[in-house]
Structure 1
Amino acid sequence: MIRAAATAAMAIIPGGSFRLGSNDHYPEERPACRVEVASFAIDVGPVTNADFAAFVAATGWVTTAERLQPAGSAVFAMTSGPVDLARPDQWWRFVEGAAWNHPEGPVSTVEDREDHPVVHVSLEDAQAYAGWAGKRLPTEIEWEVAARGGLDGATYAWGHTFAPEGGVMANVWRGAFPWWSEAPAPGPSAVGTYPANGYGLFDMIGNVWEWTADRFDQQGRCGCSVAASGETRQTLKGGSWLCAGEYCARYRPAARIGLTPESSTAHIGFRCARDLPAALDPLP
């Protein structure tokens, strides 16, 4: 397992022609298409609690969740039994005092979770960290190219089989969502717990959803869009520890969701990228 300090490392993703999207899954992933992408660098793992704590200590940054009135964020709670999966309000609840350093509420801490991905961060929080670190958020296309690990057109970041030879390849929900889990306490896992992909990147699939630099267009990768309610949405990629086959099988590189930029929850984090010339001078 890599330690928190190691997550500052970046990997160079070589440019080229890549097949992105999927015609076989959710409508917002269509159409599959081929794109040209320039080389870039991306963080080996998502930003951790230790990384974010260093940022807060250096800048005094106060996150969106901490500035709300009342302050707080969305926390997951398992249900007592099977429920209507069209009703996410049955397993999500707003908890006053929940924030990046108090992930389950005011009495919780990130002590002994320094190498876990930071959560309860909005788009603004992620952008502020990236700017402080001399980086930026990856575009959606860059993120998907990196997640595929060099496997052009593969369903998962590791190939076409979800569990090759029975192996657990990512931190996703294993059990019956949202009331029973094989994990005694489902939640984010330490960065590096699961195998890296072909580019040496950890947690591109599962663990936490990750913010990207692009607006969400439900029709594909054609630019900015607004939700039916009039709210602008931002694209997140990768799935999370809450993705389950019977509910949200979005633990694939092509998968994508759109959330309002101020959203913060117990399963949203991010990683950073750099244009290649800056990344080469030198890699951290």
Structure 2
Amino acid sequence: MKNKIYRIFTILILAAISVAYSFTQFTTPKEKLTAMDCTEAANTTAVSEFEPTIINKNSAPSQTPKGMVWIPGGEFSMGSNVEDESLCSIKGVTKDASPVHRVYVDGYFMDETEVTNEEYAKFVNATGYVTVAEQKPTQEEFPGVPAENLIAGSAVFSPTTAAVNLNDFIQWWSYVGGTDWKHPLGPESSIKGKEKYPVVQITYEDAAAYAKWAGKRLPTEAEWEFAARGGKTGNLYSWGNTLKPDGKFQANIYQGHFPVKDGDAGEDGFKGIAPTGQFKPNAFGLYDMAGNVWEWVNDWYSPSYYTELSKGGKIARNPQGPDAYDVPNDPEKKRVHRGGSFLCTDQYCTRYMVGTRGKGEIRSAANHLGFRCVKSL
């Protein structure tokens, strides 16, 4: 009975996490699809939906904070015109990233890389902060679950032994007690020697707490995408329109059979998470704006927000996202994730494409989820 209750608790935790994958529940066809069945590039509609990016002409400030770069801001076309992403061309998967619409953002500074274990450790050592994953869940959060089964921990990617139906992400995620930012893969794991890797197992409030301590903030979704596009217009990726220019990967993503054990071929040079800054920066000097780890942004998630912004054809100026999370039949409050991760693959989740979106419950974390910060003038 105890094991059954713990299993129910685990499923509740994983269901809340979303880990940027829950959209597939409603889009995967009835037939069973595995990663081995589906390997194809996304189709796109006309590039003409994207109007030219207009970069502000204001000069960069004389002093740039250490580890940050100046993003001048300006006007650009935000969103994605991708009609499908992997899963054998299932239409509508990326519909929450459309329509493409015009946005203006003011200039700001942005972290060159995702926040690292080393940087997060400085914050924790200075403040004594305890992350959500280190806190024991309460019965208020999970009524009916016995106290002995409420164990501090978080979600860890757990590869399957064989190809599986891709419409149920819980098959390759496990809730592991004792998992947190210092032990990202479970209680026996460590970040020793991984000081330059992005910190993971971070919830929204953990990221926001660090940003406040550092005198920064989390980016808006519009700021994140403007920066990721690097001043370019309508590109599919943060580096261009070709996944592998000159035959070389430009980001740490998944190649091989997902989510099978040892399925990641590591053709990009990495199997699993990588240290920050291992690939060329984009045109603004930012590293890892695609792949490696998903990044929290400040906006509440809404699948219809872009539709609201595009009404009337006006330019949205410094949009901050919806006022609150309000998605029918979904009580788990979610904010937006951006950029994709080392688990994103052309077989399942190609959301390393620059205009696409993810989402996550605000008090949930995983070993492919981190963040970076911005700073206003």
Q: TM-score of the superposition, structure 1-length normalised?
A: 0.92
Deviation string, structure 1 residues 68-123 (Cα, Å, up to 9, x no partner): 33110000011111101111111100000010000111111101110000000000
Question: Which residue matches 2:68?
Answer: 10
Q: Assess, with a 3 A threshold, how the Cα gap between structure 1 residues 47 and 189 changes in structure 2: closer, same or farther.
A: same
Unpaired runs of 5+ in structure 2? 1-64, 84-93, 138-150, 309-321
Corresponding residue for 1:175? Answer: 256
Per the TM alignment, residue 231 of structure 1 is displaced from its structure 2 partner at its CA by 2.1
Match of residue 54 from structure 1 = 122
Q: 294, 298, 309: which one pairs with 1:213?
A: 298
Preserved contact between residue 137 and residue 211 of structure 1 (Cα < 8 Å): yes
Structure-2 residue corresponding to 1:198: 283
The answer to whether structure 1 residue 225 and structure 2 residue 325 are counterparts is yes
Say whether residues 1:147 and 2:248 are aligned partners: no
Query: Which structure has the larger Rg?
Result: 2
How far is 1:17 from its partner? 1.0
Q: Note if contact 1:20-1:34 (Cα within 8 Å) is conserved in structure 2.
A: yes
Amino acid in the other structure paired with 1:24? V
* Residue 232 of structure 1, CA deviation: 1.9
Cα distance in 2 for residues equivalent to 1:29 and 1:174: 24
Q: Residue 119 of structure 1 aligns with which residue?
A: 200
State the 1:8 CA deviation: 5.2
The one-letter code matched in structure 1 to 2:304 is Q
Q: Once superposed, what is the RMSD of the aligned Cα atoms?
A: 1.5
Report what 2:155 is aligned to.
74
Aligned residues: 270
Q: Judge conservation of contact 2:252–2:270 (CA < 8 Å) in 1.
A: no
How far 1:220 moved relative to its partner?
3.1
Q: Is the 8 A contact 1:215 1:225 kept in 2?
A: yes
Aligned match of 1:31 = 99
1:234 alignment counterpart: 335
Letter aligned with residue 22 of structure 1: S
Q: Distance in 2 between matches of 1:20 and 1:84?
A: 33
Q: TM-score, length-normalised on structure 2?
A: 0.70
User: How far apart are 1:219 and its partner, in Å?
Assistant: 1.4
Check the 8 A contact 1:19/1:34 in 2, yes or no.
Answer: yes
Query: What's the offset of the Cα at 1:216?
Result: 0.5
Stretch deviating more after TM superposition (23-32 or 111-120): 23-32
Alignment-derived partner of residue 40 in structure 1: 108
> C-alpha distance in 2, partners of 1:187/1:64?
24
Higher strand share: 1
Residue in 1 aligned with 2:366?
Answer: 265
Cα deviation per residue 1:21-43 (whole Å; 9 max; x = unaligned)?
A: 01224101101011111111110
> What secondary structure, in the 3-state scheme, does the structure 1 residue paired with 2:126 have?
helix
Query: Which among 73, 76, 91 is matched to residue 172 of structure 2?
Result: 91
Give the share of equivalent positions with the same residue, in percent.
43
- Alpha-carbon offset, residue 236 of structure 1: 0.7
In structure 2, the partner of 1:3 is none
| Alpha-carbon distance in structure 2 between the residues aligned to 1:238 and 1:218 | 17
SS at match of 2:225: helix
Quick one: which of 244, 264, 273 aligns to 1:188?
273
CA distance in structure 2 between the partners assigned to 1:220 and 1:171 by the alignment? 29
Please name the residue that 1:131 is paired with.
Answer: 212
Match of 1:274 in 2: 375
Instruction: Give the Cα–Cα distance (whole angstroms) in 2 for the partners of residues 155 and 253 of structure 1.
Output: 6
SS in 2 for 1:18: strand
Quick check: 193-202 or 219-228, which moved more?
A: 219-228
Which deviates more, 91-100 or 211-220?
211-220
Question: Per the alignment, in what secondary structure is the counterpart of residue 248 of structure 1?
Answer: coil
**Displaced runs of 4 or more, over 3 A:** none
Q: CA deviation at 1:185?
A: 7.5
Whole-angstrom CA distance in 2 between matches of 1:220 and 1:250: 18
